[in-house]
């Protein structure tokens, strides 16, 4: 059984496969050594490097691993709407080159645009801000963001300090909390002494900053991407696939213990930071979960499962385009033929079904409209809740209510009215469906922002399948 869903706008393969995929995007060309000057003559408003960074040695050294150009930076078009996974993927791109050297007077261009190489230029890039990449600084980032409670911080939000004082003004991207008490944030930031780094702030330093959220962030409780459920090993129990910010992919095999199904993970791929989201499900009909994933430009790829439990995914095949138009995508066997179909929602709430035609290299053809009004959900996932071999849909609304849309058996109109099957689901940042105990009915696997992993076993009732949950793991906040 599968599966999982992800809000777009959220990989897997061997290193070789990942390098091939990255090559298709195009490498950054290395030219002359970059200018690491912090001169600000003639540039737009910005933030000079802080005289010192609390807890960070200012040794005067910065990396020189990429080439830069003088300000003003190029026009990056309109502001983008991005998922939290996409924001962190963009941020990771500056870390992946060894760190971009700090300068107020230089710009760095990669596949995500051309942005000034100071702290606010870095956050502007991660958020996908439009206009020129040198137009934003700590003094006007508030124009595109909203203050939020510190307790509401989620990956992709930011910590901002602007007091019209160059010695303290700064902004950093929030990744996760280092501690259970939520006092020490892990951030990615552009620093004057070491360029782009990821580190943990002290509580005293973090208290000087106000939490803000980009106004065009795309929310979804199941969507951080980061984690997908599917039967990778073919034993009838769903495993978990998880991605770290550095793009490495990890497999958590279901060990068969109903109360503690997942143990330690194993590394199964790298280079997956390039993808906006990924889903797991049986596309080829061999009873093993494949990976369907999308790049930020909407290119859809399929990584078929080769049957090797320790290295299941090799090469990806392009199977579609323009998937950036959807805000939510779910993978599940809607038609009951043993092959996973795709269900996708647009920002206007229209729902479309892409049935699997049986071709392993080109499984999905033309979409069929199957519903409207799906914009009311923060997220939805696909999986066989009722045990009839056809994927149902489970949706979470912003008020925390959980709704089940059972599959009525029609391939052209599978979902009718939904029924309320739960409340109080606001604390979860991911809600997945997967058969954890091998009984043919999908259970719920959910994570909270503190990294705890929860299991809600399907009790067999089609009208009230899920009751109390059990804690089955921790440390899942590291995945994006």
The pLDDT tens digits of the residues spanning 41-98 come to 333 456 777 776 666 655 444 555 689 999 999 999 989 877 776 788 788 889 888 8
Report d(CA 42, CA 38) in Å as an integer. 12
C-alpha closest to that of 380 among 46, 65, 6, 30: 6
The pLDDT tens digits for 376-401 are 887 899 999 999 999 999 998 877 89
**Entry pTM:** 0.64
Q: What is the DSSP letter of 262?
A: B
Whether 289 and 305 have beta carbons less than 8 Å apart is answered as yes
Report d(CA 265, CA 310) in Å as an integer. 11
Map residue 460 onto helix, strand or coil: coil
Element (H, E) at 22: helix 15-25
Whether 392 and 3 have beta carbons less than 8 Å apart is answered as no
Map residue 171 onto helix, strand or coil: strand
List the single range of 17-21, 179-183, 234-238 with lowest mean pLDDT. Answer: 17-21
Residue with tokens 């962190």: 88
The pLDDT tens digits for 339-360 are 999 999 987 789 999 999 999 9
Element (H, E) at 444: strand 443-447
Tell me the chain's radius of gyration from C-alpha atoms.
22
For 124, phi and psi rounded to 5 degrees? -60, -40
Report d(CA 71, CA 325) in Å as an integer. 32
Report d(CA 457, CA 258) in Å as an integer. 9
């Amino acid at each position: 059984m599968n599966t999982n869903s992800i809000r777009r706008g959220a990989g897997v393969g061997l290193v070789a496969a990942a390098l091939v995929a990255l090559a298709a995007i195009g490498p950054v060309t290395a030219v002359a050594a970059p200018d690491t000057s912090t001169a600000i003559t003639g540039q737009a408003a910005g933030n000079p490097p802080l005289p010192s960074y609390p807890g960070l040695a200012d040794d005067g050294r910065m990396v020189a691993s990429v080439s830069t150009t003088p300000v003003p930076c190029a026009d990056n078009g309109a502001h983008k709407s991005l998922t939290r996974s996409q924001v962190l993927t963009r941020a990771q791109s500056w870390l992946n080159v060894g760190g971009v050297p700090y300068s107020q007077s230089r710009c760095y261009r990669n596949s995500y645009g051309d942005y000034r190489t100071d702290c606010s230029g870095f956050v502007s890039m991660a958020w996908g801000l439009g206009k020129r990449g040198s137009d934003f600084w700590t003094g006007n980032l508030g124009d595109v963001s909203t203050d939020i409670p510190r307790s509401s911080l989620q990956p992709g939000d930011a910590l901002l300090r602007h007091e019209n004082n160059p010695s303290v003004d700064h902004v950093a991207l929030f990744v996760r909390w280092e501690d259970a008490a939520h006092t020490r944030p892990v951030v990615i930031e552009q620093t004057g002494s070491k360029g782009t780094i990821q580190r943990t702030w002290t509580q005293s330093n973090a208290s000087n900053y106000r939490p803000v959220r980009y106004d065009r962030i795309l929310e979804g409780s199941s969507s951080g991407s980061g984690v997908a459920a599917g039967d990778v090993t073919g034993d009838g129990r769903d495993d978990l696939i998880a991605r770290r910010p550095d793009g490495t992919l990890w497999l958590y095999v279901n060990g068969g213990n109903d109360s503690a199904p997942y143990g330690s993970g194993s590394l199964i791929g790298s280079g997956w930071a390039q993808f906006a989201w990924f889903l797991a499900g049986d596309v080829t009909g061999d009873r093993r979960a494949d990976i369907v994933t999308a790049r930020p430009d909407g290119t859809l790829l399929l990584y078929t499962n080769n049957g090797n439990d320790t290295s299941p995914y090799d090469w990806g095949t392009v199977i579609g385009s323009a998937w950036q138009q959807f805000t939510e995508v779910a993978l599940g066997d809607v038609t009951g033929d043993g092959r996973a179909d795709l269900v996708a929602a647009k920002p206007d709430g229209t729902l479309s079904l892409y049935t699997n035609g049986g071709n392993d290299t080109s499984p999905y053809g033309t979409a069929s409209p199957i519903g409207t009004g799906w914009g009311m959900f923060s997220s939805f996932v696909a999986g066989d809740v009722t045990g009839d071999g056809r994927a149902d849909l489970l949706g979470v609304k912003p008020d925390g209510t959980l709704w089940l849309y059972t599959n009525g058996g029609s391939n052209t109109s599978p979902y009718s009215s939904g029924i309320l099957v739960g409340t109080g689901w606001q604390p979860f940042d991911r809600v997945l469906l997967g058969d954890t105990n091998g009984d043919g009915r999908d259970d719920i696997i959910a994570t909270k922002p503190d990294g705890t992993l929860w299991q809600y076993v399907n009790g067999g009732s089609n009208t009230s399948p899920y009751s109390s949950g059990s804690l089955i793991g921790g440390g899942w906040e590291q995945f994006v």
